[in-house]
Amino acid sequence: EAGVTQSPTHLIKTRGQQATLRCSPISGHTSVYWYQQALGLGLQFLLWYDEGEERNRGNFPPRFSGRQFPNYSSELNVNALELEDSALYLCASSLAGYYNEQFFGPGTRLTVL
């Protein structure tokens, strides 16, 4: 069974541009989570989508947004990129609802120059 997949593996952008990151969950999973792992800050929760709706949001500015498609894949958009947005962005998926185990993808490394 395929795990969580993310694309692209690496993404290089310049300050002020927009970045789009994609995630495909494990088959049968309808919840998708996004986390940011910036150097020195540890993993921080960004967003949770379930059944196409945003269910919870971490302490990030509005220029971090996303959506979930009918096939449960998800997109994370980061607008007006800043240097400090450089990080590893990890996507996870789980069964629907609360308190289920989250399975992580390999991540997208975003570098902002």
| Contact map string, positions 23 to 52, toward other proteins, x by CB under 8 A | ----------x-x------xxxx--x----
For other proteins, which is the closer residue by CB, 13 or 109? 109
Q: Does 109 bind other proteins (CB under 8 A)?
A: yes
SS3 of the chain: the string is CCCCEEECCEEEECCCCCEEEEEECCCCCCEEEEEEEECCCEEEEEEEEECCEEEEECCCCCCEEEEECCCCCEEEEECCCCHHHCEEEEEEEECCCCCCCCEECCCEEEEEC
Q: Does 95 bind other proteins (CB under 8 A)?
A: no
Residues in touch with other proteins (CB under 8 A): 33, 35, 42-45, 48, 55-56, 58, 88, 90, 92, 98-99, 101-107, 109
